[in-house]
């Protein structure tokens, strides 16, 4: 296995038009449609970096919707591995909307997703490190350790939360729901 790769080796670029059935009631792209595009792109970046059959999404760390995407826009999703741990890969995604009538381009969204590469037995495997070169890659890499620590803290909190929250159906809890006693 290669010890290190450049982020551009995992670059995936996918451009699509915005179809009418992708629009919400504000005539902008549904956030969920964009989220699916991000996950698809990020999966391919992770698989390209690790060169494995299967990578799984460990977390969607953040998606920041910066500008709406309209029906007259094309939507371009670029993704690449921006930081690696021992067995995890952080994938950075940027979404560029281009008004097809005027040619105006803008960053519509950014996102960070974390993936784990799996072997044939569905066990996590070590992934190659990255060697950033461009200003963008270096910035993302240098800030990656802080994001990884935030992910660890969030995961710890999520585990604690799952010990506190219930899985009983609302009518099985014996609690007040909507001002009615349920027992």
The model's confidence at residue 141, banded by pLDDT at 50, 70 and 90, is very high
Mean pLDDT for all residues in the chain: 93
- Among positive and negative, which fits the CA dihedral 34, 40, 44, 45? positive
What proportion of the chain, given as a percentage, has pLDDT over 90? 85
Distance CA(16)–CA(88), nearest Å, equals 29
Q: Does pLDDT of 177 surpass 90?
A: no
Backbone angles phi, psi at 31, to 5 degrees: -60, -40
Summarize pLDDT for 75-124 with one digit per residue, the tens: 999 999 999 999 999 999 999 999 999 999 999 999 999 999 999 999 99
For residue 32, give every residue at least 6 positions away whose Cβ sits within 8 Å of its Cβ, in sequence order, or none. none
**Are residues 117 and 89 in contact, defined by beta-carbon separation less than 8 angstroms?**
yes
Summarize pLDDT for 39-73 with one digit per residue, the tens: 999 999 999 999 999 999 999 989 999 999 999 99
The model's confidence at residue 181, banded by pLDDT at 50, 70 and 90, is low
Two tokens at 141? 């890499």
| pLDDT at res. 180 | 55
Q: Does pLDDT of 3 surpass 90?
A: no
| pLDDT at res. 5 | 96
Task: Return the closest-CA partner of residue 75 out of 136, 43, 28, 26.
Answer: 28
Domains and CATH numbers, the chain: 4-142 (3.10.129.10), 144-183 (no CATH)
């Amino acid at each position: 296995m290669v010890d290190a790769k450049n982020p551009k080796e995992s670059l995936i670029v996918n451009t699509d038009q915005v179809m009418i059935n992708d629009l919400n009631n504000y005539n902008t792209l549904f956030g969920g449609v964009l989220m699916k595009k991000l996950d698809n792109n990020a999966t391919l970046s992770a698989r390209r970096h690790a060169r494995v059959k299967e990578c799984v999404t460990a977390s969607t760390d953040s998606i920041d919707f910066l500008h709406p995407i309209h029906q007259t826009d094309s939507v371009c999703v670029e993704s690449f591995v921006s930081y690696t741990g021992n067995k995890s890969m952080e994938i950075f995604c940027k979404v560029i909307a281009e008004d097809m009538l005027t040619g105006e381009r803008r960053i519509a969204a950014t996102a960070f997703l974390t993936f784990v590469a799996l072997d044939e037995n569905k066990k996590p495997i070590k992934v190659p490190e990255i060697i950033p070169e461009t200003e963008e890659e270096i910035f993302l890499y240098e800030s990656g350790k802080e994001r990884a620590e935030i992910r660890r803290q969030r995961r710890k909190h999520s585990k604690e939360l799952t010990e506190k929250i219930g899985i009983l159906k609302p009518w099985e809890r014996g609690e007040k729901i909507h001002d009615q006693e349920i027992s």
